[in-house]
Structure 1
Amino acid sequence: MREADPPGRDVLWRAVGGQRRDVTLGALLGMGHQTGEALVPVLIGVAVERGVVDGDVPGLLLWLAVLAAVYVGLSLSFRFSARAGERASVTAAHHLRTELVGRVLAPEGGADEGRLPGELTNVATEDAKRVGAVAMALVVALAAAAGLVVSAVALLRVSLVLGLLVLMGTPLLLWFGHLLSKPLERRSETEQERAARASGVAADLVAGLRVLKGIGAEPAAVARYRRISGDSLAATLRAARAEAWQNGVVTVLTGTFIALVALVGGRLAARGDIGLGDLVSSVGLALFLIGPLTEFAWVNTELAQGRASAARIAEILDAPPAVPPGPTSTDRASGRPDRSDTVPHGHSDTVPHAAEGRLRLRRVSYRTLRSVDLDIAAGEILGVAAPDPADATALLRLLGRSADPEAGAVELDGRNLTALHIKDVRAAILVAAHDADLFEGTVLENVTAAAGARTSAVTLVGPAMAASGTDEVARSLPDGVYTPVTARGRSLSGGQRQRVALARALAADTPVLVVHEPATAVDAVTEVRVAAGIRDLRRGRTTLLVTNSPALLAVTDRVVLLQHGRITATGDHERLVHTCAPYRTAVLT
């Protein structure tokens, strides 16, 4: 998007331009409808002139038949014009929603920074709908313009004065309407922003309802939502007042203009400058003009709201990525320079899944981490004990490439992660977060969600369920692995959710698996079983267990203590328990 363009203009152009076929069809049919509507008073005037003034009955019947044919044509034109316009509007909104979802879910991230999920949902629904409505507004505007042009030509035929009055007055009315839409545009943007914020807070509170009840924080949560909802209501009322003020002023101006046209026509008829049929036509045309001018007022409102929503959508689509995506296979094939000579050729599943799984952190600094050096051999099961959760979070973000180091480098098989495309990194290294959500579907569908169609992964579904204890969960559910799971797994207990999420991570069968505190919500017996299951299933595959659980750390090949942002101790679990007091404090207290 060009810097000189207002925010959102590119979004509007793409939304409407992508539906040019339906917009064009709807506009042409709408112009036909408005032309027919404008011709109706003209034909009525001709029929009156023939039948009443001239007494020509056959002529009267002929023009009545023409009038009937025009009615049939304008009725069909309106029907199919509205269908094409609505299809363009709905399709444009759908494509915007798809684009927004794609940007939010893009591997490089960044679009959701500082925004609650409910806010993103509001933008993808209400704002996308308003931008899509611009396509329909354009159809209506072109159709109304055609009606005004035909009316002006017809009035010019009746009287030069009447025709010039319409041709000169209409642009002035449209200009005033555009000026009046500016406050509405500003207030509409604020209204949508506050409404999105209220939706985001509401969704956030509903998601944490159990926690709020458990700590007795319902009054504080209600007070917070009442305050934010009040801000949203105030913004909505301001936008409604702006819209009402605009519509009211435009209606007064339009009514005054129509009255002026009728007055001039009546005076011309009284002086005998125009006949009875022309007077009927001019009055009918003056009344007809109310429709197109009212539609232009509606179009101005839709455009103002559409521009405001397009600006909000553009903020998300143009949000800078959290990490650069890295070179693509196209870059490599075209010979464009990469950031590393060791970037793997190709961009398919075969590259990351052929990875050996050697990891190395070279003097990495990021947030709380300070010059961390760590080598992890291919196939090693490494335990990382981190007393400070901030250290663990920073390490997980780097390994999953949700962020890049402030200094130093993270390498996979000797290649800097920043030199690989982010999709390759994510396919080779899976970071299973402690608070991973489940999805709507069955237990089995959740476990197989990350396995895809890879044969090696699909065959691991059963062993992964056994290793994580999910088989035990399934036996306790009414329909076993086919038991439905609600959004975020709220129909399951904390321990059940945790085991299903771990099974999903194990079934993915990635060369490198990083698991963060996978057994905090299960009993000690289950924790020991889970630890043994991870060790047996991941034998020969690089695995990092970021945890302070002694049961899990006991099954690792080696443990490192990440303390105060640095690696302060390394060795096997038993030796560290006996020889390292900080480690003993971290995992046994």
Structure 2
Amino acid sequence: MQIRDLPYSDPGDPDVRSGPRFLVWLGRSQLTGQLKSLAWGLLHHCAIAGLPLAVGLAVQAVIDRSGQDLARAGVLLVLLGVLIAVGDTMLHRTAVTNWITAAARVQQLLARRTAELGSALTRRVAAGEVVSVSTGDVEKIGWFVEALSRFAAAATALVLICVGLVIYLPSLGVLVAVATPVLALAVLPLLPRATRRADLQREKAGRATELASDTVAGLRVLRGIGGEELFLARYRRASQEVRRAAVRSARMWALISAIQVLLPGLLLISLVWYGATLARDGRIEIGQLVTVYSAATLMLFPLRNVEEIAMAYSFSRPSAQRAVRVLSLRRTAGPSTLDAVRPQGDLYDPVTGLMAPQGRFTAVVCGDPDEAGRLAERLGGHAEPGDASAPLPSVLLGGVALDELPLGTARTAVLVQDKDPVLLSGTLRELLEVPSSGGVTAEEALDAAQCGDVLDALAQASVEVDGDPMNTRITERGRSLSGGQRQRLALARSLVTDPEALVLDEPTSAVDSHTEARVAAGVQRLRRGRTTVAFASSPLLLDLADRVVLVHGGTVVAAGSHRELLRDEPRYRAVVTRDSDDGSSAADGLAAADRLPPARTIEEIEERA
């Protein structure tokens, strides 16, 4: 796999039983790239290992005053230099390719799981953790995959060098062969402590980042209540904890690095002392001593890979564990079994008994807002995965289970807009350029969502001469707009898609009653003949619905028109009119409703608002 071939057509089915198993699967999935990197690494290290032999031959040729041997040594040095350059270049190329392709594979897996789960993902895993996994953790996982092949090449080169030295000069080669494993494994007892300190640092850093994100997201509210200094002090404390944890972690890694320098130094001192003694006694030649000493010195480079792979694993293991926590989540118990045929018909939830007839505007009233949010997600097939031994039955559209449809088909058939929609940065035109049926234009959707004031504000903020609001950029998450403006733009985006069934969770909760009435009428007009479900408790919206359903305790307990339920169902009155204990609010609301005929035009709605 080359970088130019990314993205993968299929990133594969990962082993998510644990973080280490996921890392093993990832390395095995890129076996070809690992073998290429291993081959070039062996060439590079073995060429470096050949330098001492060439230098030793050159020194001995000078001592023996042999020009022919010196010329041979020179040719060998030039050849080894070329091999080192080629091996190093290709090793770096293949290793970086392994890094990038591994990171791309993990990002594709995360993107696939995020698209599959939808908003149910953030109910199982914090949004900040998902962002952390898809950015910093992906980089650390890629680092381990990249370092793995280089470590394998370095370890193989060390074994070959030790064997070669034992064969070349047993008196000194045995000393090097015995000392090398000690040098490589000496830091292993320190790694668990270093890993724990690194994990603690990352945990504290994650908390500080989460606190900073929450502070920025709620900055407007904090300014309103004068809480900036309080949160700033909290972030200062969290930041100092991260700094102290980072210093403690750095001290441990510095100790490991110092040991990696001290022990090889002791080996070289012992080697020089013992080798000089043997050369003085005439038991070895000077060239042989130079060869063994040079080989031992150059062995320090592959030994560094031992420290690197230990660091890479200690950092990537918790990152892989966090990735596994996300990737192990499932939307359904089994794969899609139906063809990609877009179903049509009534939208039915067998868990609650909620039925939204095809082509009609159904309003749903829930006393518990959280229950309403969960039910809205269920209607779109985004429901949180249930118990594997007893999974919840799927929502049906036209008698077809959404969970059995291909993911793209299910998303196209039923669209859910939650109560806190996100606006991505970009122009308004780009915001509304979403996959759609083509039956609703952007202008029609903006008009139905009553976005006239939003267009005026964007036109004034436009840097273009003509002031076209469609070309005006919207800041990240629409922070430059009010809550009501963001909600209406998100509603217009949903209306543009023109799905078979549209589910809206509190679509007018952030607007005033006058705007709410116009928005409700606009949605009813634009969605006429299409299945629409709105979760709301506003009488202005409920009075426009073709059918109103009351959900209580996770079950549909009543259905009818707004006025019928207001008259006959006490639980409905309690939610819609905020009924008091003496029932005065309910009585007042019922009397007012009986006195007024049903409002079906925008003009009538405006008068009542």
Q: TM-score, normalised by structure 2?
A: 0.81
- 1:284 corresponds to which residue? 294
| Map 1:59-458 → 2, pairs under 5 A | 59-107=69-117, 111-318=121-328, 320-321=329-330, 323-324=331-332, 326-329=334-337, 345-346=338-339, 348=340, 350-352=341-343, 355-356=344-345, 358-362=346-350, 364=351, 372-401=352-381, 402-403=383-384, 410-415=395-400, 424-451=409-436, 454-456=437-439
CA drift at 1:63: 2.0
Work out whether residues 108 and 324 of structure 1, in 8 Å CA contact, stay in contact via their aligned partners in 2.
no
Q: Deviations over 1:290-312 (max 9, x none)?
A: 22223322332223323333233
Partner SS state of residue 434, structure 1: coil
* Structure 1 residues 199 and 529, CA gap change in structure 2 (3 angstroms): same
| Map 1:536-575 → 2, pairs under 5 A | 536-562=525-551, 570-575=559-564
* Structure 1 residues 95 and 256, CA gap change in structure 2 (3 angstroms): same
| Map 1:473-512 → 2, pairs under 5 A | 473-477=454-458, 478=462, 479-512=468-501
CA–CA distance in structure 1, aligned partners of residues 55 and 66 of structure 2: 14
- 2:46 corresponds to which residue? 35
* Structure 1 residues 554 and 281, CA gap change in structure 2 (3 angstroms): same
CA drift at 1:209: 1.9
Q: Deviations over 1:364-416 (max 9, x none)?
A: 4xxxxxxx544432222122234542342243233233247998885433455
Work out whether residues 38 and 285 of structure 1, in 8 Å CA contact, stay in contact via their aligned partners in 2.
yes
CA–CA distance in structure 2, aligned partners of residues 163 and 404 of structure 1: 61
CA drift at 1:263: 2.4
Question: Counterpart of 2:342 in structure 1: which amino acid?
Answer: V
Work out whether residues 16 and 324 of structure 2, in 8 Å CA contact, stay in contact via their aligned partners in 1.
no
CA–CA distance in structure 1, aligned partners of residues 311 and 419 of structure 2: 47
Work out whether residues 268 and 293 of structure 2, in 8 Å CA contact, stay in contact via their aligned partners in 1.
no
CA drift at 1:227: 4.5
Question: Counterpart of 2:173 in structure 1: which amino acid?
Answer: G
1:467 alignment partner, one of 439, 445, 448: 448
CA–CA distance in structure 2, aligned partners of residues 261 and 5 of structure 1: 48
CA–CA distance in structure 1, aligned partners of residues 174 and 90 of structure 2: 33
- 1:367 corresponds to which residue? none
Partner SS state of residue 76, structure 1: helix
Question: Counterpart of 2:488 in structure 1: which amino acid?
Answer: R
Q: Deviations over 1:276-297 (max 9, x none)?
A: 2222222222322222223322
Partner SS state of residue 187, structure 2: helix
Q: TM-score, normalised by structure 1?
A: 0.84
* Structure 1 residues 215 and 386, CA gap change in structure 2 (3 angstroms): farther
Partner SS state of residue 186, structure 2: helix
CA–CA distance in structure 1, aligned partners of residues 241 and 435 of structure 2: 41
* Structure 1 residues 37 and 408, CA gap change in structure 2 (3 angstroms): closer
* Structure 1 residues 178 and 101, CA gap change in structure 2 (3 angstroms): farther
Work out whether residues 467 and 533 of structure 1, in 8 Å CA contact, stay in contact via their aligned partners in 2.
yes
* Structure 1 residues 102 and 211, CA gap change in structure 2 (3 angstroms): farther
How many residues are aligned here?
Answer: 553
CA–CA distance in structure 2, aligned partners of residues 14 and 194 of structure 1: 29
CA–CA distance in structure 2, aligned partners of residues 96 and 15 of structure 1: 9
Work out whether residues 120 and 384 of structure 2, in 8 Å CA contact, stay in contact via their aligned partners in 1.
no
* Structure 1 residues 270 and 526, CA gap change in structure 2 (3 angstroms): same
CA–CA distance in structure 2, aligned partners of residues 112 and 573 of structure 1: 34
Partner SS state of residue 508, structure 2: coil
CA drift at 1:569: 5.2
Deviates more, 1:284-293 or 1:263-272: 284-293
CA drift at 1:500: 0.9
Question: Counterpart of 1:324 in structure 2: which amino acid?
Answer: T
Work out whether residues 251 and 294 of structure 1, in 8 Å CA contact, stay in contact via their aligned partners in 2.
no
* Structure 1 residues 565 and 27, CA gap change in structure 2 (3 angstroms): closer
Q: Deviations over 1:540-581 (max 9, x none)?
A: 112122212232222211333445666565443345556767
CA–CA distance in structure 2, aligned partners of residues 99 and 419 of structure 1: 21
CA–CA distance in structure 1, aligned partners of residues 366 and 88 of structure 2: 68
Work out whether residues 158 and 274 of structure 1, in 8 Å CA contact, stay in contact via their aligned partners in 2.
no
* Structure 1 residues 256 and 539, CA gap change in structure 2 (3 angstroms): same
CA–CA distance in structure 2, aligned partners of residues 418 and 6 of structure 1: 24
Question: Counterpart of 1:504 in structure 2: which amino acid?
Answer: R
Partner SS state of residue 105, structure 1: helix
CA drift at 1:439: 0.9
* Structure 1 residues 497 and 107, CA gap change in structure 2 (3 angstroms): same
Unaligned 5+ residue runs, structure 2?
1-11, 463-467, 579-609
* Structure 1 residues 144 and 200, CA gap change in structure 2 (3 angstroms): same
2:506 alignment partner, one of 502, 517, 538: 517
Partner SS state of residue 225, structure 1: helix
CA–CA distance in structure 2, aligned partners of residues 149 and 361 of structure 1: 65
CA–CA distance in structure 2, aligned partners of residues 450 and 201 of structure 1: 35
Question: Counterpart of 1:165 in structure 2: which amino acid?
Answer: L
* Structure 1 residues 285 and 418, CA gap change in structure 2 (3 angstroms): closer
2:29 alignment partner, one of 4, 18, 23: 18
Question: Counterpart of 1:486 in structure 2: which amino acid?
Answer: T
CA–CA distance in structure 1, aligned partners of residues 517 and 523 of structure 2: 10
CA–CA distance in structure 2, aligned partners of residues 295 and 565 of structure 1: 58
Work out whether residues 360 and 529 of structure 2, in 8 Å CA contact, stay in contact via their aligned partners in 1.
yes
Deviates more, 1:402-411 or 1:183-192: 402-411
Question: Counterpart of 2:30 in structure 1: which amino acid?
Answer: Q
CA–CA distance in structure 2, aligned partners of residues 43 and 524 of structure 1: 88
CA drift at 1:45: 1.6
CA drift at 1:434: 1.6
CA drift at 1:274: 0.9
